[in-house]
């Protein structure tokens, strides 16, 4: 590697590069990357939701999906109807029950997952994620086989000469199905935070005389609250907006807002009424989530969640 070769290479390579104006153009060129995604989101996501809001202010009509006359009547009708409120209340309640059960079930799973040795963790992750990737419909079908009156569980009960239990076409069936579908979301949320908690903290707590339960209650749980918050919000929102499970496991006996909205739009062809119901529900959901997040924050135990980078 003599000196001459060095010079040859240097001459080929060294230079000032493209002139500044071209570099500026390339700089602007980067932003082309975002254009397709932004276009899809604005045209097929933001605009449709704006449109939905607009339609909720139109007058229902028998000749067309709606008449172009602005009104607040759809909302007035909804708000006056006790049936609306019953369905909303029931939906929110199913959401809370599902979320609570999910939390209780998911926490041990998440803790176990986050603290498992690396190898085992890979396997456990597969077990947690797999149900997530099997369509909701398929999983619901599995539950139908298990829960129906002639299903496996009731067969077993009968074989044991126990009374059969009505597990499907009621709230019980819906709750079982919902919990099963949303547990993985909760586990992933919580495990993510637990993994960031230094295990040494637990050793420290134990060395200071705290038992397993107190270590959990005073150290692990408070530190995992961000994950709990994220998980509960996610699961609650997903639960109250799910359609398949309440329809199939609830039969026609369990009514939730999504079922009613779809029915209003596709069977009654009352687009403005359905839109108004959708928007109303949306607003209530946002309000509940907002209050919940604030309450959790005010409990003063939530560390600031900055940018995760």
Partner 1 sequence: MIRPRERRWMAVAVAVLYVFLLAPIAIVVLAALNSGAYLRFPPEGLSLRWFVAFAESRSFTSSLRFSLKLAALATAASTVVGTMASVWIVRFSGRWRNAFRVLFVAPLAVPGILTGIALLIFFYAVGWGNTGFVGLVIGHTLICTPYVFLITSAGLLRFDRTLEEAARNLGAGALRTFWRITLPLIKGGIISGAVFAFVASYDEFNISLLLSGVGMTPLPIQLFDYLRFSFDPTAAVAGTISIGMAFVVVLVTQKLVGLDALYLGGG
Partner 2 sequence: MAQIVLDHLTKRFGDTPAVTDLSLELASGELVALLGPSGCGKTTTLRMVAGFETPTAGRVWLADRDLTDAPPERRNCGMVFQNYALFPHLTVEQNVAFGLEMRGVERAEIRRRVADILDKVELGGLGGRYPRQLSGGQQQRTALARALVVNPSVLLLDEPLANLDAKLREEMRFYIRSLQREFHITTLYVTHDQAEALVLADRVAILMGGVLQQYGRPEDVYHRPRSAAVAGFIGLTNLIPGRVRARGAGRVIVDTALGPVTAGGDPALREGADALLSVRPEQLDLLRPDAAPRNGANVLRGTVRERTFLGSLADFRVDVGGGVVLRVQGRPSAVERAGDAVAVAFDADAAWALPRATS
Contact string (CB under 8 A) for partner 2, positions 18-37, x = contact = --x-----------------
Among residues 16, 32, 34, 138, the one that binds partner 2 under rule CB under 8 A: 16
CB of 46: closest distance to partner 1 in angstroms? 9
Site for partner 1 in 168-187 (CB under 8 A): 180, 183-185
Among residues 94, 168, 254, 261, the one that binds partner 1 under rule CB under 8 A: 261
Please count the CA atoms within 13 angstroms of the CA of 2 that sit on its side-chain side.
1
CA–CA separation, 207 and 173 (whole Å): 45
Q: Which does 10 bind (CB under 5 to 8 A by kind): partner 2, partner 1, none?
A: partner 2
Plot region of 300 (φ>0 → left; ψ -120 to 50 → alpha; else → beta): left
Q: Which two tokens stand for residue 303?
A: 């560390």
Strands (E), 52-102: 58-59, 67-70
Size of the chain, expressed as the number of residues it contains: 309
Q: Which does 14 bind (CB under 5 to 8 A by kind): partner 1, partner 2, none?
A: partner 2
Among residues 229, 254, 276, 280, the one that binds partner 1 under rule CB under 8 A: 229
Q: Which two tokens stand for residue 19?
A: 């002139």
Among residues 130, 165, 253, 301, the one that binds partner 1 under rule CB under 8 A: 130
- Contact criterion met (CB below 8 Å) for 185 and 231: yes
Q: For 218, phi and psi rounded to 5 degrees?
A: -95, -25
138 binds partner 2 (CB under 8 A): no
163 binds partner 2 (CB under 8 A): no
Q: For 271, phi and psi rounded to 5 degrees?
A: -65, -45
Among residues 173, 250, 258, 273, the one that binds partner 1 under rule CB under 8 A: 258
Q: For 58, phi and psi rounded to 5 degrees?
A: -90, 165
Site for partner 1 in 22-61 (CB under 8 A): 26, 30-31, 33-34, 36-38, 40-41, 44-45, 47-49, 51-52, 55
- Contact criterion met (CB below 8 Å) for 175 and 256: no
Q: Which does 286 bind (CB under 5 to 8 A by kind): partner 2, partner 1, none?
A: none
- Contact criterion met (CB below 8 Å) for 261 and 247: no
Site for partner 1 in 100-129 (CB under 8 A): 105, 108-109, 111-112, 115, 122, 125-129
Q: Which is nearer to partner 1, 82 or 200 (CB)?
A: 200
Cα–Cα–Cα angle for 182, 114, 303, nearest 5°?
Answer: 85
202 binds partner 1 (CB under 8 A): yes
CA–CA separation, 99 and 184 (whole Å): 12
Q: Point out which span in 71-79, 90-98, 166-174, 194-202 binds partner 1 (CB under 8 A).
A: 194-202
CB of 52: closest distance to partner 2 in angstroms? 42
Q: For 59, phi and psi rounded to 5 degrees?
A: -90, 135
Q: Which does 266 bind (CB under 5 to 8 A by kind): partner 2, partner 1, none?
A: partner 1
Residue written as token pair 């006359």: 69
CB of 16: closest distance to partner 2 in angstroms? 5
Radius of gyration of the chain (CA): 27
The binding site for partner 2 (CB under 8 A) comprises 1, 5-6, 9-10, 12-17, 20
């Amino acid at each position: 590697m003599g000196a001459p070769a060095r010079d040859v290479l240097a001459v080929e390579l060294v230079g000032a590069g493209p002139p500044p104006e071209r570099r500026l153009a390339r700089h602007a060129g980067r932003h082309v990357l975002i254009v397709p995604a932004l276009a899809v989101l604005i045209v097929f996501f933001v605009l449709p939701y704006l449109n939905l809001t607009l339609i909720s202010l139109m007058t229902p009509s028998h000749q067309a999906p709606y008449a172009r006359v602005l009104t607040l009547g759809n909302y007035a009708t909804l708000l006056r109807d006790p049936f609306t409120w019953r369905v909303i209340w029931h939906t929110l309640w199913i959401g809370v029950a599902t979320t609570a059960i999910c939390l209780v079930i998911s926490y041990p799973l998440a803790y176990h997952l986050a603290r498992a040795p690396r190898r085992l963790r890979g396997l456990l992750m597969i077990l947690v994620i797999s149900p997530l990737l099997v369509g909701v419909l398929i999983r619901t079908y599995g539950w139908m086989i298990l829960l129906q009156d002639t299903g496996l569980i009731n067969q077993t009960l009968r074989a044991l000469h126990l009374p059969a239990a009505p597990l499907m076409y009621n709230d019980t069936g819906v709750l079982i199905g919902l919990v099963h579908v949303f547990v993985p979301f909760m586990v992933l949320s919580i495990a993510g935070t637990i993994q960031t908690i230094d295990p040494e903290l637990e050793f420290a707590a134990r060395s200071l005389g705290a038992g397993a339960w107190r270590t959990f209650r005073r150290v692990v749980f408070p530190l995992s609250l961000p994950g709990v918050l994220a998980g509960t919000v996610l699961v609650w929102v997903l639960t109250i907006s799910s359609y398949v499970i309440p329809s199939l496991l609830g039969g026609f006996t369990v009514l939730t807002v999504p079922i009613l909205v779809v029915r209003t739009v596709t069977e009654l062809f009352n687009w403005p009424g359905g839109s108004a119901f959708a928007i109303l529900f949306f607003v209530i959901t946002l309000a509940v989530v907002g209050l919940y997040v604030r309450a959790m924050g005010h409990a003063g135990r939530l560390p600031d969640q900055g940018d995760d980078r």
